[in-house]
Structure 1
Amino acid sequence: MPNLPSRRDADSRAVPVPAEEAVVDCAVYIDGRRLPGRYTHSDALAEVRSRGEGFVWLGLHEPDEHQMTSVARTFGLHELMVEDAVHAHQRPKLERYDDVLFLVLRTVNYVEHESVTTTNEIVETGEIMIFTGPDFVVSVRHGDHSGLSDVRHRLEQSPGRLALGPASVLHAVADYVVDSYLAVTTLVEPDVDDLEELVFTPSTRIAVEQIYLLKREIVELRRAVVPLATP
């Protein structure tokens, strides 16, 4: 029987997927306004630096290591940042590497359901990672619910805010995520009330698993929110 190639050998021969495959949007902003046309991340940064003004906002969704390494090489991101951006499940944090800020936020989304006793999920989580330098923003998303297109659109309707530079994007994304915490918390409260009522209603049968599920979902929500309260 012929020797079959190992999985590691097969992976090493896999054709790398270009970084562009992970790009959701890439734009150049000058004086708070988006320049027309489509750019690769390297062309966008070259455009900004040739002008000596403005910044790039590159949005990525779940890039792999090869894709993120390509982006990091262009923007000069630290290798530890690359590792964090590829591998999700990071703790919320804010770090500085030279002149680059790196922010990790956990995202939350309320999963619609008919009854707290029949659902398998109430809150789904994801992550947003933001890199900001003097002339660029790189946003990396993990999870399907954490899209930033609405945030980008609202900012593009406010050139005065975008003209403030990458910090305006960082603030807008953080504000969007924190608002979602409040919204999800409000939606979860009725589930807690419903389950509590069922527990204390005579002759009502409720599985222990449903109580555990709700507890687990609340813990997930706390893990996203509590680290932000630490100065």
Structure 2
Amino acid sequence: MSMINNLRAAVVRQPRRRDGGDLGLNPGATPSAVVDCAVYQQGKRIGETCSPREAARQVKAAHQSGPGSFSWIGLHEPTEAEFEGIAQRFGLHPLAVEDAVHAHQRPKVERYDNMLFAVFKTVRYIEHEQLTPTSEVVETGELMVFAGPDFVITVRHGAHSSLRALRLRLEADAEGTGLLAKGPAAVLHAIADHVVDNYLLVAERLQTDVDEIEYGVFANRGGSGADVGRVYQLKREVLEFKRAVTPLLRPMLQLSEPVARLVDPEMQKYFRDVADHLARVSEQVQGFDELLNSLLQANLAQVSVAQNEDMRKITAWAAIFAVPTMITGVYGMNFEHMPELRWTYGYPTVLGVIALICVGMYRGFRRNGWL
């Protein structure tokens, strides 16, 4: 009987979700998906971390006393079930929700009614002692941002794209530039600026790898298969970096233009600065790609030249050894009437003639650069 009562009590005491709903009864984000959730009023954080439901309630209550409040919800790799409740509560477009959950999207900025949906590719440089034909140089992740009139929702995919330091810096700077007071567009700009700054750091580190490859290719005049493998591997990593940078340039330019009506005019100049930095990174990456193409062709040319030199040496030595082979082959035939066949000095004379011909051919090939 006591066992039955315990089971009934366990059923009654259902565990509560972080967003205030019951597990399995009210869709929302699990504690493992929600990294941080806070409400900001006039650029300052109100209270501690709360649930998405509580954040929506606080923003609604704050609007009654005046504008300037919004919520910022950060999630890390949520599932469809985990994200469903938040999507319904904030009216997110289903297509954008699908992109945010499944990831593997192209960098872009799209508009859905009064909301902006941005996709950024985050990039991290992987430290390595020496570049090899199998070295991984860059690691990419994804960062999605929903920016509405009174909310910002960030969805991260990957282990290296944390926004905690950025959030703390913006909160600490409330009395300085006060970008958080400008609303969700300021958060979108801060995230874009953070991502592009990481691009600049990765580009600087890649420059070192490209310089190392360039020195190795031209220092090894003979060329080698290892150099080809290193150049090709670095080119693949640069192309992965390029796919993260290049598609983002046009959306950043659009956010910096007056046609972006969802962005405060005061924030457009900030996006213009991000676009300038992104253009510089894009030019660097394009230069890396073109230089690696040239290095790959130069290395292949070196390998081809080395093979031609080897073939010339083999051909020269084959020609030299063909002389004694031919002469001894002629004298090896069992004919009775052969030149100087019964002469006492015939054998050493023939050997001397063979040696003179071979030495003459060797000097000729050496003088022409074949040996």
Tell me the TM-score normalized by structure 1: 0.88
> Deviation at 1:42?
1.1
Displaced runs of 4+ in structure 1, greater than 3 A?
A: 15-18
**3-state SS in 2 of match to 1:163:** helix
Aligned to 2:204: 186
Match of 1:98 among 98, 113, 127: 113
> Deviation at 1:155?
0.7
What letter is aligned with 2:36?
D
Indicate the percent of aligned positions where both proteins have the same amino acid. Answer: 53
Mean CA deviation greater in 115-124 or 48-57: 115-124
Aligned to 1:201: 219
Aligned to 2:138: 123
For 1:33-182, what aligned pairs fall within 5 Å after superposition?
A: 33-52=44-63, 53=67, 54-117=69-132, 120-159=135-174, 160-182=178-200
CA contact (8 A) 1:113 1:119 kept: no
Q: 1:33 & 1:51 partners in 2: Cα distance? A: 13
Match of 1:214 among 225, 234, 241: 234
Which structure is higher in RCO with an 8 Å CA cutoff and minimum separation 6?
1
**3-state SS in 2 of match to 1:68:** helix
Q: 2:134 & 2:70 partners in 1: Cα distance? A: 44
1:18–1:68 Cα change, 3 Å = closer
What letter is aligned with 1:41?
P
> Deviation at 1:182?
1.0
CA contact (8 A) 1:102 1:129 kept: yes
Deviations 1:69-95 (A, max 9, x none): 221011110100110001111111111
Query: Gaps spanning 5+ residues in structure 2: where?
Result: 1-22, 254-371
Deviations 1:146-203 (A, max 9, x none): 1111110111012221111111100000011111111100100111111122222236
Mean CA deviation greater in 111-120 or 134-143: 111-120
1:118–1:219 Cα change, 3 Å = closer
Higher fraction of helix:
2
**3-state SS in 2 of match to 1:200:** helix
What is the CA RMSD across the aligned residues, in angstroms?
A: 1.8
What letter is aligned with 2:232?
Y
Aligned to 1:7: none
1:119–1:156 Cα change, 3 Å = farther
Q: 1:70 & 1:196 partners in 2: Cα distance? A: 53
> Deviation at 1:228?
2.0
CA contact (8 A) 1:24 1:61 kept: yes
What letter is aligned with 1:45?
A
**3-state SS in 2 of match to 1:117:** coil
> Deviation at 1:119?
5.6
Aligned to 1:5: none
**3-state SS in 2 of match to 1:141:** strand
CA contact (8 A) 2:28 2:86 kept: no
Q: 1:106 & 1:38 partners in 2: Cα distance? A: 27
Aligned to 1:19: 29
**3-state SS in 2 of match to 1:116:** coil
- What is the aligned length? 217
Higher fraction of strand:
1
Query: Gaps spanning 5+ residues in structure 1: where?
Result: 1-14
**3-state SS in 2 of match to 1:19:** coil
Q: 2:228 & 2:102 partners in 1: Cα distance? A: 33
Q: 1:50 & 1:185 partners in 2: Cα distance? A: 45
CA contact (8 A) 1:62 1:86 kept: yes
Tell me the TM-score normalized by structure 2: 0.56
What letter is aligned with 1:34?
R
Aligned to 2:245: 225
Q: 1:107 & 1:80 partners in 2: Cα distance? A: 21
Q: 2:49 & 2:247 partners in 1: Cα distance? A: 37
> Deviation at 1:68?
1.6
1:18–1:228 Cα change, 3 Å = closer
